[in-house]
Amino acid sequence: MPGQERQGCHVFGRSFKLFDVWGFSVGVDTSWFVVAILVAWSLAVGLFPFEFPGLSTRTYWTMGIVGALALFGSIVVHELAHAKAAQRFGLQIRGITLFIFGGVAEMTDEPPTPRSEFVVAIAGPLASIALGLLFAVAAAVGSRLDWSISVLGVLQYLAWINFIVVLFNLVPAFPLDGGRVLRSVLWRWKNDLRWATRVTTSIGSGFGVVLIALGVLSFIDGNLIGGLWWFLIGMFLRNAAQMSYRQLVVRQMLEGEPVLRFMHADPDTVPRSASILQLVEDHVYRYHHKMFPVVENGRLIGCVSTRDIREIPREEWDSRTVGEVMELCSPENTVPPRADAMRTLARMNRTGRSRLLVAENDELKGVVTLKDLTRFISLKLDIEEQEAA
């Protein structure tokens, strides 16, 4: 469903870049191809033959393909409106991705104020309203000029579907645009982003349950395809709402906290000259870690991981050294002690690394792990829930 600006980690599977527009990268998730085919098929076999009988099969399929492509073009415009509005407030956009339920503009951060939240959220529906009016006017003009029924049919469909997109997205259920608008109002009223998010994500989760129930009823009534879609959209909305609240809680807990608060200050290290066999026997099997700092003469020079070990045949473990396979220090595996813990967690999620070196001027200060960060979050949530109870 269009109109979602997702903050946080990338949540899609494999995606393909289509083009750049206004400085934003537009791509498609692999799931998009499934829904694109389904939409074109449903238009060509169902909607257009019912609304405009008497045309050829080839014409219906042409209308269906054009209608499907124009629909997703409309979704791109909707998301571009979100992205341009976010850009006005200094928010970075990773890109726009089309996926099975529509599209999403991926923001790297939450809007800083209730006003920015409102403007970014409402920009998408306003763009869809403008598109709906544009297609409706084009259909009216075409009717007066006796355009072909196939062209008029596609224009009428695009006008109708853009207005449907607006109505659906303005439901006050987070993370839909209407939920974000409601959150901005509640945020300004109480000056409490977390409370406003909890309220709107609860509504979003409840709305998801309603759609799931609607899907089950449709399925029982014999509408298999429609029931399946309602069920999947409901599941997606419910999970997205719950994930959005968790992401905000995590951000508020970690943002501004330095990594040194969570790091292990005296980690186990290995010398460059150690053999792979020594690394495995004396370190991996003993401490059960996947990555170890490599230190020489008190200076951090890199790290070695079990992933590096897998590249070496077992019969060579005794003759190969850590220095031959280690990874040199880089921004991908190293953070300074004062680095923001939230940004560090985001980096771990982005790179798939569960352990990072904490270093300053080639001096090893410690190691920070994903497990330590998540354990802190879990403990703090548990304490807060007990206090609330």
Among residues 79, 70, 114, 69, which one has the least CA distance to residue 3? 79
The one-letter amino acid code at 192 reads D
pTM for the predicted model, two decimal places: 0.74
What is the layout of strands, in order, in the sheet containing 327-328? 291-296, 299-305, 327-328
Q: Which helix (H) or strand (E) holds 20?
A: strand 15-21
Superfamily of structural domain 259-378: CBS-domain (3.10.580.10)
pLDDT of residue 277: 92
Which pLDDT does position 285 carry in this prediction?
Answer: 92
Query: Within the chain, what is the greatest distance between any pair of CA atoms?
Result: 85
378-387 pLDDT tens trace = 887 777 666 5
Tell me the mean pLDDT in the region 115-127: 93
**pLDDT of 125:** 94
- pLDDT at 14 > cutoff 70: no
Q: Where are the alpha helices (DSSP H) in 145-191?
A: 149-169, 177-190
Q: Yes or no: say if 115 and 70 are a contact pair by the CB < 8 Å rule.
A: no
pLDDT band at 74 (very low <50, low <70, confident <90, very high): very high
Q: What is the DSSP string of 87-127?
A: HHTT--EEEEEEETTEEEEEESS--SSHHHHHHHHHHHHHH
- Give the closest residue to 369 by CA, choosing from 270, 259, 246, 286: 259
The 8-class DSSP code of residue 213 comes to H
pLDDT at 101 over 50: yes
- Residue 239 parent element (H or E): helix 224-254
* Residue showing tokens 């953070």: 335
How confident is the prediction for the chain on average, in pLDDT? 86
Could you list the beta-strand ranges (E) of 306-380.
327-328, 334-335, 355-360, 363-369
Q: What is the pLDDT of residue 386?
A: 63
Give the DSSP letter of residue 326.
Answer: P
Render 17-59 in DSSP notation, one character per residue.
Answer: EEEEETTEEEEEEHHHHHHHHHHHHHIIIIIHHHHSTT--HHH
Per residue in 165-187, pLDDT (tens digit) is 999 999 998 888 999 999 999 99
What is the DSSP-derived secondary structure letter of residue 45? I
Cα dihedral value 278, 284, 287, 291, nearest 10: 120
| Amino acid, single-letter form, for residue 172 | P
Q: What is the pLDDT of residue 209?
A: 92
What pLDDT, in 10s, does the model give residues 268-318?
999 999 999 999 999 999 988 889 999 988 899 999 998 888 888 999 999
Q: CA 191 to CA 197: how far, in whole Å? A: 11
C-alpha 80/C-alpha 3 separation (Å) is: 10
SS3 content of the chain, % helix, strand, coil (to 5): 60, 15, 20
**What's the pLDDT at 275?**
93
Domain boundaries, the chain: 4-170, 191-254, 259-378
Q: Residue 327 in contact with residue 355, Cβ under 8 Å? A: no
Which has more pLDDT, 15 or 236? Answer: 236
Q: Determine how many CB atoms are found less than 10 A away from the CB of residue 26.
A: 20
Region 255-261: mean pLDDT is 86
